[in-house]
Amino acid sequence: MAGELLDNRGRGDVAWSLPRIHPEGRKFGLIALGVSLVFLLLGWGIIGWPLLFLTAGVFAFFRDPERVVPHEDSLIVSPADGLVSLIAQVEPPEELKIDDGSGIQGLPDGPVTRISIFMSVFDVHINRAPIAGVIRRLVYLPGKFLNADLDKASEENERQYILIERADGTRIGFTQIAGLVARRIVPFVKPGDTVGAGQRVGLIRFGSRVDVYLPAGTDSRVLLGQRCIAGETVLGEIGTQKLIEGVSQ
């Protein structure tokens, strides 16, 4: 199915398959598997079996399923799997706004809609580009490891800022934020790279959060408490403002 063109009229062919394991996680899974087998061969099942169960969890954490990405220029897709935990009007972070000396503009001043997506250890942790464009900025900052559900995690936790610019000059920034358990943010891209919407751009190991800053004049199309799928869920449509209400049930 990879790379196949699908549409809402039934074109294409799909079938269920096991998701692949991202190479970043294979080494951890194989180490855990090797240690568990050693204990099992020594007859120490009380240690070996729990470690074997942990091995399955490690492989599951690094699963990298295929996603069907809607290709419409005005759409902004979710960069992360997880729960929409916060939606707020905020100023973009300085790291995405200030002149970094490269001559490339950052995000403009003024409040925009920030959508925060919380990823538990059970979610897929591969992050994807919300729009197609060029990576203009990638800024890593060390920090704390507070609960990623907290609003202040956006400014105090270890994090990485990514700024993408479309061909028409529209820029969208998002932040990968480490959480209580997360201890490393792994980028797959660098400044100057061209990415497609939904392309894999990085991962955060073991529980975390992603903040997305929509362009001015664009409202969220997801609701607080809604679950997102990276590369598939539409977070917003550029230039569209509309109140959407929902009921939890």
Long-range contacts of 102-105 (CB under 8 A, 24+ apart): 102/136, 102/137, 102/191, 104/136, 104/137, 104/165, 105/171
For 16, the token pair is: 């269920």
To 10 degrees, what angle do helices 23-41 and 45-61 make? Answer: 170
Given 78, 154, 208, 220, the catalytic residue: 208
Q: Say if residue 213 is exposed, middle or buried (CB neighbours under 10 Å; 0-12, 13-18, 19+).
A: buried
Which CA distances in Å does 205 have to 81, 102, 182, 234?
13, 30, 5, 24
- Dihedral Cα 17, 133, 90, 231, nearest 10 deg: -10
- Going by C-alpha positions, the residue among 120, 247, 228 that lies closest to residue 182 is 120
**Straight-line distance from the first to the last Cα atom of the chain, in angstroms, rounded to the nearest whole number:** 34
Asked if 208 is an active-site residue, the reply is yes
70 forms bridges with which residues in the sheet?
none
**Where in the sequence numbering do the catalytic residues fall?**
208
